[in-house]
Amino acid sequence: MEIEIRTIAEEEYDSYFGMLETSFGGHARPEDIERERRVVEIGRCLGAFDGPELVGGASAASFLMTVPGAEIRAAGVTGVGVKPTHRRRGVNSALMRRQLDDVRAAGEPVAVLFASEGGIYGRFGYGMGSFMCSMDLERERSAFVRGSEPGGRVRLLERAAALEAFLPVYDRTRRERPGMIRLDATWFEYRFAEEGHHEPEPRRYFYAAHEGAEGIDGYAVYHVKSEWPDSTPRNELQVEEAVALTPGAYADVWRYLLDVDLLGRVTGWNRPMDEPLLHLLAEPRRLRLTLRDGLWVRLVDVPKALEGRRYAAEGRVVLEVRDGFCPWNEGRYELEGGPDGATCRSTRAEPDLACTAAELGATYLGGVSFRQLQRVGRVEEVRAGALARADAIFTWDPAPWCSFMF
């Protein structure tokens, strides 16, 4: 079977998006296509063609991503799918091959994605670089450890005013956490679009702003699912996003969410693995925090990526990297880094650690240690003491997380 991989034309986008929806078991609606057109980069949409038939696709967005102590250009890989008629024929591998070649040519040192299935992307050199948690809290078991005195006030805003007011708060918070994506006004509006959720009606959000002494310093975006079993209110409040600039504002935002009337449960599907709410609750077990994979990270240019972040401590480590899918990364690299910057260059020195590009991607944002991967045979400690030294350099606080699933 001859499959051609090429960039789609503008007039092919509707068919392209329809094919991707088919690959995920859905049907494209006009409102879905309209929503995606607001942010899509046609020049980064790759189609797989079996003759005239479009049978697969993969696209990317041009992002700036927070990394430890800095930010770096990253290709946000999304919309990867193959028609059911053409699965298991190498179409996805061909798309990944072309896409990573294009990412390298564009000078982006890193590619990142959220995986529909965790087993797909490791073979292309992606490593599980961050985690996300779901939560499901019974409202009546949501008391805080200590009595909470509000340090400001919360008020509800209309959508347009809320998005304008919330974006600066988001931007300040995302600078502190590796894995977060810088969003402009268009992407922020897309992030909280109320249509295009494969539901019969638009999902109407509430927008709650927390105001402190210096203005809006936190916010929550949420949806309420109406549930009245036996005529008794047991609504579910679904948290889309909750962020704040200070610990006090964070507590106030969550206290507001947990005290909304007529609730039975408060849920969230994408929270950080170091969720502070866990330490606010008198009964933390009741949060039912469940861990799963989050952002997958692929280093496309190893030295440029490693130089692009900062490190928790001064140190030096020689890494031997194996990379069968992007062979230009193969080799040994001497990394010298610290809080103020880093250098990374090819070397013939004996290695301290040996791993593949996938393991390096997993450790890149500072949330997964080399020792964790060594314990399951995925990293080799060549020189005694290298694991402890590398982990002291690479670790970062806070834990990596991306609140925006693209």
Q: Hey, what amino acid is at 174?
A: R
Residue 359 — φ and ψ, nearest 5°?
-70, -40
- 401 vs 177: CA distance, rounded Å: 7
The confidence score (pLDDT) of residue 157 equals 98
Residues 89-106 pLDDT 10s:
999 999 999 999 999 999
**201: pLDDT confidence band, cut at 50, 70 and 90?**
confident
pLDDT of residue 256: 97
Of the chain, the percentage scoring pLDDT greater than 70 comes to: 98
| pLDDT at res. 202 | 77
Question: Is the pLDDT confidence value at 197 over 60?
Answer: no
Q: Domain 4-108: which topology? A: Aminopeptidase (3.40.630)
Spans of all domains in the chain? 4-108, 133-291, 301-394
Instruction: Tell the CATH topology of 133-291.
Output: Aminopeptidase (3.40.630)
- Write down the pLDDT at residue 150: 80
Instruction: Please spell the DSSP secondary structure of 80-111, one letter per residue.
Output: EEE-GGGTTSSHHHHHHHHHHHHHHHTT--EE
Residue 139 confidence class, pLDDT cut points 50, 70, 90: very high
Two domains, one topology: 133-291 and 301-394: no
pLDDT of residue 196: 65
Residue 406 a catalytic site member: yes
pLDDT at 200: 65
pLDDT-based confidence at residue 146 (cuts at 50, 70, 90): confident
Got the DSSP string for 329-395? G-EEEEEEEETTEEEEEE--SPPSEEEEHHHHHHHTTSSS-HHHHHTTTSSEE-STTHHHHHHHHH-
DSSP 144: B
Q: Over the chain, what is the mean pLDDT?
A: 96
Over residues 346-378, the pLDDT tens digits come to 999 999 999 999 999 999 999 999 999 999 999
Contact in structure between 164 and 192 (CB atoms under 8 Å):
no
Share of the chain above pLDDT 90, in %: 95
**Candidates 121, 126, 166, 364; catalytic one:** 121
Distance from C-alpha of 243 to C-alpha of 133, rounded to nearest angstrom: 15
What secondary structure, in 3-state letters, does 178-223 show?
Answer: CCCECCCHHHHHHHCCCCCCCCCCCCCCEEEEEEECCEEEEEEEEE
pLDDT at 232 over 70: yes
CATH number of the domain at 301-394, out of 3.90.1200.10, 3.50.50.60, 3.30.1050.10, 3.40.50.300? 3.30.1050.10
